[in-house]
Amino acid sequence: MTESGHLPTPDISHLSSSDYLKIYEPAEDSFLLIDALEKDVNFLNQLRPTVCLEVGCGSGLCLTFLAQILQTKALFIATDINPSAVDICQKTAQQNNISIQPILTDLVSCLGDRLEHQVDVLLFNPPYVVTSSSEVGSHGIEASWAGGVKGREVTDRLLPYIDKVLSKTGVFYLVIVKENLPDEIKDILGRDKFHCDVIITRKSGPEHLSILRFQRRHSDCNS
């Protein structure tokens, strides 16, 4: 615990301003996700997760934090479309004596069926800013924020995988802004299938950020 009563955040002193020209510099959204994980620390430890996945890991800060607060050993997998993020995530894990397997891929595509009903904790802080569709799809720093229509073009491509990859008791943490229309996200995932809790909401400048946590209503997957 720090003096302020918070769990310590990972050491990212190895990162410099030149890294942040290539990858997303942890910001209010990243720290809000960390705060949500901290708030859920008892819940997460009771789940006894064995496979944790962060999609769009960037610096690796959030997944490293999750690894630090869990009391059980688990496999930590990170994906990113940006090759520099994959390298830097590995360095962040090493800097904090954590083992993470970073993979360069679009969302979870290279993991295919291997993760079917295996993921106990899934994190995604997506590119959520409303932009034109033509800005979406870069493999560089622009991929950090450009979310296209409703800021949802990347998120919406991940949603069909959630039911497939989450384990029976798996949880999915998603960072959103108001413009992403969270009610539509709940409809897409299926309100009868997934229960959604808003773990934290915070206003940061023009952004109204929230962390949503989805969990199956019934343990009806086949794992």
Ligand X SMILES: C[S@@+](CC[C@H](N)C(=O)[O-])C[C@H]1O[C@@H](n2cnc3c(N)ncnc32)[C@H](O)[C@@H]1O
Applying CB under 6 A, the residues found at the interface with ligand X are: 24, 26, 30, 33, 55-59, 61-62, 79-82, 85, 106-107, 125-127, 143-144, 154
DSSP 108-120: TGGGGGGGTTTEE
Nearer to ligand X, 15 or 61 (CB): 61
> Residue 189 Cβ, how far from ligand X at the closest point, in Å?
18
Gyration radius of the chain's alpha carbons? 16
Provide the sign of the torsion angle of the four alpha carbons 41, 116, 56, 197, taken in this order. Answer: negative
Nearer to ligand X, 79 or 167 (CB): 79
Nearer to ligand X, 118 or 125 (CB): 125
Nearer to ligand X, 59 or 210 (CB): 59
Amino acid at 40: D
> Residue 148 Cβ, how far from ligand X at the closest point, in Å?
11
Q: Which of 164, 133, 165 is nearest to 147 (CA)?
A: 133
> Residue 26 Cβ, how far from ligand X at the closest point, in Å?
4
The answer to whether the CB of 175 falls within 8 A of the CB of 123 is no
Place of tokens 């995530």: 89
> Residue 44 Cβ, how far from ligand X at the closest point, in Å?
17
Rounded to 5 degrees, φ, ψ at 76 are: -115, 120
Rounded to 5 degrees, φ, ψ at 198 are: -90, 110
> Residue 211 Cβ, how far from ligand X at the closest point, in Å?
11
> Residue 155 Cβ, how far from ligand X at the closest point, in Å?
10
For residue 17, give the 3-state DSSP assignment.
coil
Which helix (H) or strand (E) covers residue 164, if one does? helix 153-165
In angstroms, the CA 102 to CA 32 distance is 22
Nearer to ligand X, 69 or 221 (CB): 69
Nearer to ligand X, 8 or 83 (CB): 83
Q: Which of 167, 218, 168, 210 is nearest to 190 (CA)?
A: 218
